[in-house]
Structure 1
Amino acid sequence: MIRRGSVIKVKPECLKEYVKLHANPWEAVNQKIKQCNIQNYSIYYKDGYLFSYYEYTGNDFVADMQKMAEDPATQGWWKLTDPCQEPLDTRKEGEWWAAMDEVFHLD
């Protein structure tokens, strides 16, 4: 299992819409997330930033993320959520949400 944290900015004028969307996420999107071996997924907000955390339990992260990106329901969801977000300038090539380094973990 791999724990992953990532961060992105949320546009201030879009915060209420972003929160509203996530209060009732599409079931097809939730199911695709699970089918792509992601569990224990959460998104938090603080001072203009969104922080996400999830656990990946699969064997091929790249293939699972490609499977998710090719899903029509997920693409529709992203058309609603992506305009609310502003990627960090310091993100790596190809990232939307910037990956974070784990500094500490305690089970």
Structure 2
Amino acid sequence: MRVTRDENALAERSIRRFGSIIRLRPEKEPEYCELHANVWPAVLQKLREANIRNYSIFLRDGLLFSYHEYVGDDYDADMARLAADPLMQEWWTITDPCQQPVYSATEVGWWAPMKEVFHVD
């Protein structure tokens, strides 16, 4: 197998992993699942532009668990740019009413960040 220059460049960057949690309003579960079964292509592009990779959202017992990897150099700047984007703001006006923050969420974020306690490649 041949490794390309792009793959080498990505391997040289440090990948940061993020997990977060939020509640899903029970009456909104079908809507939320349908939205994410058909995510707008432009939203997916914005996530890629913000250096987000390997993004997943899992659902269990009314809780949503989000996981993503960040491959950029300035997470805060990329997240600020994503939050300021009108398309992302429109997407969130549709998805946010489906969610309810957990009691430990802070004013800093809608989703409550999780601490990584174990990882293996």
Shared fold, TM over 0.5: yes
**Identical residues among aligned pairs (%):** 54
Which runs of 4 or more aligned residues in structure 1 lie more than 2 Å from their structure 2 counterparts after TM superposition?
Answer: none
Letter in structure 2 aligned against 1:92: T
2:84 counterpart (66, 70, 73):
70
Letter in structure 1 aligned against 2:30: K
Letter in structure 1 aligned against 2:112: A
Instruction: Structure 2: state its 5+ residue gaps.
Output: 1-14
Q: TM-score, normalised by structure 2?
A: 0.86
The number of residue pairs the alignment matches comes to 107
Instruction: Structure 1: state its 5+ residue gaps.
Output: none
Q: How is 1:1-107 mapped onto 2 (pairs within 5 angstroms)?
A: 1-107=15-121
- Structure richer in strand, relative to its length: 1
Structure possessing the higher radius of gyration over alpha carbons: 2
Give the whole-Å Cα distance in 1 for the aligned partners of 2:107 and 2:27. 27
Deviation, 1:92, is: 2.7
Any idea what SS the aligned residue of 2:22 has? strand
CA RMSD of aligned residues (A): 0.7
Give the whole-Å Cα distance in 2 for the aligned partners of 1:83 and 1:20. 14
Give the whole-Å Cα distance in 2 for the aligned partners of 1:21 and 1:92. 26
Any idea what SS the aligned residue of 1:93 has? coil
